[in-house]
Amino acid sequence: MVQSIQNAFSLPDLRRRILFTLGILILYRLLANIPVPGVNAAALSVLSEQVSGNALIDTLNLLSGGAVTNFSVMAMGVYPYITASIIIQLVTPIIPYLDELSQEGESGRNRINKITYYLTIPMALLQAIGQINLIGIQFGGVDLIVPNFGFGSIEDIVTTVTILTAMTAGTMVAIWLGEQITQDGIGQGVSLIIFSGIVAQIPSNFARILAIPDEFTKWFTIISFIILTLVTSYVIVMIQEGQRRVPVQYGRRVRGRKTYQGQNTYIPLKVNTAGMIPIIFAQSLLAFPGLIAQIFRDPAATDPNAIQQGSEWVYNTFGTQSGFFYWFVYFWLVVGFTFFYTDVMVTQQRLHETLQRQGGFIPGIRPGKRTQEYIKKVVRRITFVGAFFLAIVAITPGIMEFIGVVLWPLIFGTELIGLEQSALVITGSGLIIVVGVVLDTMRQLEAQLLMRNYEGFIK
């Protein structure tokens, strides 16, 4: 691998691509530290101290690389673009125009991408308004963090438009930077932008482990973090690279005076087709009960009524990401969303129609509807493994919390408060992104090296 890196840097064109990619990522991290105009810096420092363990902020931080805590112009990252992409994927089979574009090859995909970019702008505006108001509810009101935000007066309108424009422009700049990496660098640009944000949070998250007061717990948590990261990364690679190869045969084809012999190949069906999208869906859905409960709860009430008591329980369960019930619901939401999103993705691929057009068939299965049913059956069977893998990765902090607070005291009589931090330095969903992006980038770099007869990274 070291030799391959040396070979990559010895080639002028490849070296330029690598340095260009690194330069864009550094530029993005610099932009992520530029605050939105009009933000109260003193209130932000308080926000940064309270951000740990908050379900809503953790979800927003995942794809923005921690830019939410300093209310940067990149506070939304590329999340509106991802939201727009998911919406387009889900509505493509429903809207005839998009369905026709999806079947027009490269030109159709380019037009769908352009529609996705156009949809990103209103999604970014809506998310900017929602994000500011949601964070305001969480931390003492919008006026505390962003004074004069709203449409109540002329002065407020000017400030509000400035803030929304800055945040929307930040998202579009982040997407543009990602496109530059895809065109002139190494790797998939938007994925690398998300990757850089996740990796940038690791030092500050690791500092929380070092802040654990008990020495034994601190070192036990550090060792747990190392072991957990290595084991999880290994399993992620195995699952992400796992495939079920469905055999396909092609009959003889006659074109003009030439007869082409039939060939045997296969359809590679991935064990985890959905990636980490189901985890984002589940996190987003679980963040809202705690947010709504915070509106009705009153911690200072001496004699709370039934609504306040119920709101307090909901907030303590869903707003702080703790307790058996939270992790139980989280687990099954991830499983359910994995099956749902995988079905949508497989339906959109129309593998049975592609095979029929190209004269291919699965041995023993009739073309057309029977082939479609067979592929769905196989996908759902292997998705069972992928869904439970994603769910276990997602609830790893809960498992570590259970070990430290329940299991360890039963065996040794003392609690390991803070052991869950070993799974929060880099979350399961974040690790899936990191490992996936690294593998994809390695493949692209390997392809460039193999074009020049160099041995690549992956054997």
Q: Give the number of domains in the chain.
A: 1
Helices within 74-214 (DSSP H only): 79-91, 96-102, 105-138, 142-145, 154-184, 189-210
**Which pLDDT score, from 0 to 100, does residue 43 have?**
66
Cα–Cα distance for residue pair 45/258, rounded to 1 Å: 73
Write phi, then psi, for 253 (nearest 5 degrees): -120, 135
Q: Is residue 78 part of a domain?
A: yes
DSSP per position, 393-428: HHTHHHHHHHIIIIIHHHHHSS--TTGGGGGTSS-H
Range of the domain at 121: 32-185
Q: Return the minimum-mean-pLDDT range out of 12-21, 62-71, 429-438.
A: 62-71
Strand ranges for 252-297 from DSSP E:
253-255, 258-260, 264-270
| Domain-located, residue 439 | no
The separation between CA 184 and the C-alpha centre of its own chain, rounded to angstroms, equals: 24
Amino acid at 37: P
User: At 56, is the pLDDT very low, low, confident or very high (cuts 50, 70, 90)?
Assistant: low
Question: For the chain, what's the residue count?
Answer: 459
Cα–Cα distance for residue pair 222/96, rounded to 1 Å: 53
In a domain, 368, yes or no: no
The pLDDT tens digits for 66-114 are 566 667 888 888 888 888 888 888 788 788 888 888 777 778 888 888 8
pLDDT tens-place string over residues 306-335: 777 777 777 777 766 667 888 888 899 989
| Its pTM surpasses 0.85 | no
CA distances to 100, 232, 268, 274 from 237, in Å: 35, 9, 16, 15
Please report, for the chain, how many H helices and E strands are present, in that order. 19, 5
Question: What DSSP element (H or E) covers 291?
Answer: helix 277-296
Q: What is the pLDDT of residue 449?
A: 78
Worst-scoring range by mean pLDDT, 35-39, 137-141, 187-191, 411-415?
137-141
Q: What pLDDT band is residue 24 in, cutting at 50, 70 and 90?
A: very high
In a domain, 152, yes or no: yes
User: What is the mean pLDDT of the segment spanning 336-357?
Assistant: 82
Report yes or no on 136 lying in a domain. yes
Cα Rg, the chain, nearest whole Å: 25
In a domain, 380, yes or no: no
117, 127 contact by CB (below 8 A): no
Q: What are the respective helix, strand and coil percentages of the chain, to the nearest 5?
A: 70, 5, 25
Query: For residue 124, is it within any domain?
Result: yes
Res 50: pLDDT: 56
Distance CA 136, CA 143 (A): 8
- Is 243 within 8 Å of 269 (Cβ atoms)? yes
196 within a domain of the structure (yes/no): no
Cα–Cα nearest to 431, from 48, 62, 53, 24: 62
Task: Please state, for a pLDDT cut of 90, what percent of the chain lies above it.
Answer: 3
Q: Alpha-carbon distance 291 to 288, whole Å?
A: 5
